[in-house]
């Protein structure tokens, strides 16, 4: 009789125990899956032993992954809440600042100009008593100030808690425009207001230029302003009138003697230089000039000036001239000055 091989063959009882153990493990796994599904969670991948049975659990990696999927929504909700809080805070601060008595406009700083004083500016601003300084539109106030005919530019600022500061730049008239009525003209050629008594004293009068209601500066006005600027560059008799023809020819009249200076359509500064040379050559006789043609055609490299003298007798402001060939010998009546 052979001895049993215990090392190779297992008993039937041992096999039965192993089978029951496997069935128990499968039952535990099924129960674990059912429990996880009922809780709405994913089946864990890890395994631990409890009372000899394997169970699954959620790992930290799966939890972090789930939270990472929800993180953008969490950020959005937090940002929306913070933003709403900031809006509420700013609105509350603005409501307080624009109604607080501390910021009421009580002072006005303004340096008066020749034609605009402090009372005029206060009337132009039109601020009611106790108006909050932070609630006013500074640009709108500046536009109100520029409604004054002498104001070319205005700037309105504030200095907390209670001061309004106004700065004004006036128009600077350089001429009078005779176009139906008399208008004051600034350096750009813009007629900015009608002349009133006492205004524009000593300014030259521009004639021959039409008033453009659209605000555009005509070439004739530009030509007149060029002549005024060129004439003022050197000491010369006071200028009384600037006439511009349709073809651009310029004629000047002095204010005291009414001497006519015909500059023509060419270079104005060169023509005025010939006038200066003529005055230097005549000496005291220059006061007798009635008409000077400074636009004569040059002969070779020389520029000729033709001058006519006033009629002897009482002097007048108008250029009453007498041609040299009729009243005086040619050597006295006309002077041909050379300006190289």
Kindly state whether residues 191 and 266 are assigned to the same domain.
yes
Among 149, 170, 191, which residue terminates a domain?
A: 170
Kindly state whether residues 189 and 326 are assigned to the same domain.
yes
What mean pLDDT is predicted for residues 126-150? 90
Kindly state whether residues 199 and 321 are assigned to the same domain.
yes
**Res 54 pLDDT > 70:** no
Kindly state whether residues 161 and 270 are assigned to the same domain.
no
Among 56, 79, 95, which residue terminates a domain?
A: 95
pLDDT of residue 143: 96
- The pair of structure tokens assigned to 85 is 């809080």
Q: What is the pLDDT of residues 238-287, one digit of tens each?
A: 999 999 999 999 999 999 999 999 999 999 999 999 999 999 999 888 88
Whether residue 3 lies inside any domain: the answer is no
Kindly state whether residues 237 and 318 are assigned to the same domain.
yes
Longest dimension (CA), the chain: 181
Kindly state whether residues 109 and 185 are assigned to the same domain.
no
pLDDT of residue 102: 72
Number of structural domains in the chain: 3
Kindly state whether residues 213 and 327 are assigned to the same domain.
yes
Q: Per residue in 304-333, is it b (16+ CB within 10 Å) or e — as a string?
A: ebbbbbbeeeeeeeebebbebeeeeeeeeb
- The full DSSP string for 77-119 is HHHHHHHHHHHHHHHHHHHHHTT-GGGB--EEEE--BTTB-HH
- The pair of structure tokens assigned to 79 is 């940002």
CA dihedral of 267, 272, 274, 276, whole degrees rounded to 10:
-160
Whether residue 46 lies inside any domain: the answer is no
Kindly state whether residues 143 and 252 are assigned to the same domain.
no
More confident residue, 169 or 51: 169
Q: Average pLDDT over the chain, rounded to whole?
A: 77
| Sheet containing 205-207, strands listed edge to edge, beginning at the edge strand earlier in sequence | 191-194, 181-186, 173-179, 205-207, 239-244, 250-254, 260-264, 289-293, 303-309, 337-339
Q: What is the pLDDT of residues 55-74, one digit of tens each?
A: 444 565 666 666 666 667 67
Percentage of residues of the chain with pLDDT beyond 90: 46
Kindly state whether residues 299 and 315 are assigned to the same domain.
yes
Whether residue 120 lies inside any domain: the answer is yes
Supply the CATH number for residue 154's domain.
3.10.20.310
Whether residue 333 lies inside any domain: the answer is yes
**Could you tell me where the beta strands, DSSP code E, fall in the chain?**
46-50, 53-57, 107-110, 151-159, 163-170, 173-179, 181-186, 191-194, 205-207, 239-244, 250-254, 260-264, 289-293, 303-309, 337-339
- 173-179 and 181-186: which strand pairing? antiparallel
Kindly state whether residues 220 and 78 are assigned to the same domain.
no
Kindly state whether residues 159 and 235 are assigned to the same domain.
no
CA distance 181 to 189: 16
More confident residue, 240 or 94: 240
Question: Which range marks the domain in which residue 71 is found?
Answer: 64-95
Kindly state whether residues 242 and 324 are assigned to the same domain.
yes
């Amino acid at each position: 009789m052979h001895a049993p091989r215990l090392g190779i063959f297992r008993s039937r009882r041992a096999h039965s125990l192993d089978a029951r153990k496997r069935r128990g493990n499968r039952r535990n796994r099924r129960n674990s899956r059912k429990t996880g599904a009922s809780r709405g969670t994913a089946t864990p991948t890890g395994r631990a032993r409890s009372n000899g049975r394997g169970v699954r659990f959620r790992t930290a990696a799966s939890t972090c992954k789930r939270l990472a999927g929800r993180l953008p929504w969490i950020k959005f909700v937090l940002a929306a809440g913070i933003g709403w809080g900031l809006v509420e805070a700013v609105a509350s601060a603005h409501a307080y600042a624009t109604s607080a008595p501390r910021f009421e406009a009580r002072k006005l700083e303004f340096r008066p100009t020749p034609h605009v004083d402090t009372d005029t500016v206060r009337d132009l601003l039109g601020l009611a008593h106790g108006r909050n300084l932070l609630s006013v539109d500074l640009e709108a106030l500046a536009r109100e100030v520029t409604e004054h005919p002498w104001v070319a530019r205005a700037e309105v600022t504030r200095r907390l808690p209670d001061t309004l500061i106004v700065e004004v730049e006036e128009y600077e008239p350089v001429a009078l425009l005779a176009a139906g009525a008399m208008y004051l003209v600034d350096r750009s050629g813009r007629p900015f207001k009608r002349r009133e008594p006492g205004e524009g004293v000593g300014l030259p009068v521009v004639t021959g230029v039409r008033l453009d209601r659209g605000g555009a500066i005509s070439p004739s006005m530009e030509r007149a302003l060029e002549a005024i600027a060129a004439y003022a560059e050197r000491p010369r008799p006071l200028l009384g009138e600037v006439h511009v023809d349709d073809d651009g020819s310029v004629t000047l009249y002095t204010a005291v003697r009414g001497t006519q200076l015909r500059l023509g359509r060419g270079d104005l500064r060169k023509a005025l230089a010939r006038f200066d040379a003529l005055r230097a050559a005549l000496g005291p006789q220059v006061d007798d000039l009635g008409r000077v043609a400074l636009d004569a055609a040059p002969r070779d490299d020389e520029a000729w000036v033709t001058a006519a003298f006033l009629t002897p007798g009482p002097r007048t402001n108008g250029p009453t001239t007498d041609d040299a060939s009729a009243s005086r010998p040619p050597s006295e009546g006309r002077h041909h000055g050379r300006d190289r």
